[in-house]
Amino acid sequence: DGHCIGEGAFSFVFKAYPVNSNNNGSAFALKKVLIQSNTIRENVKSEVDSLRRFVHPNIVELLDVVYTKEPNTNTSVAYLLFPFAERGTLRHELTLQLEDTTMKRMSVKEVLSNYLSILEAVTVLHEHTEDAYVHQDIKPEVY
């Protein structure tokens, strides 16, 4: 019984817990994608294939995926399970930095370290593909 922590055009991301954990166990990010067309179905398949292919500490790990059908509709649903980022996202940190003038600012070393982590992940995409691979959706949010 999690709560929505993000959404896109066809998807919602929830903070979720194992059924018998009483919210004391590890949290997960559960992405629910409404598959309403063949294009969305292909996009989900591509995302899942990519997440399984590119394994790196700076690329979010896909733990599992399940496909279901919504009752009484023609809509299928894909549920993608990820680890939950307990410390939040880079977007959250950047927003805090801008809004809270009393907050300690990131040092140049911290900024460059974050940037290097992003570059290392993108390098994995470029080095481990036979064809050109373009992410097209790099953002400071995490599932």
- pLDDT of 100 strictly over 90: no
| Bridge partners (DSSP) listed for residue 28 | 16, 83
Q: How far is CA 2 from CA 17, 20, 77, 89, 122, in A?
A: 7, 13, 17, 18, 31
Mean pLDDT for the stretch of residues 61-90: 88
Distance in angstroms between the alpha carbons of the first and the last residue of the chain: 17
Q: What is the pLDDT of residues 112-138, one digit of tens each?
A: 888 898 888 888 877 766 665 666 666
Q: What pLDDT was estimated at residue 143? A: 39
Characterise 36 by phi-psi region: left (phi > 0), alpha (psi -120 to 50), beta (else).
Answer: alpha
Say how far apart CA 15 and CA 84 lie, in whole Å: 7
What average pLDDT does the segment 54-71 reach?
A: 89
**SS3 for 39?**
helix
Contact 62, 80 (CB under 8 A): yes
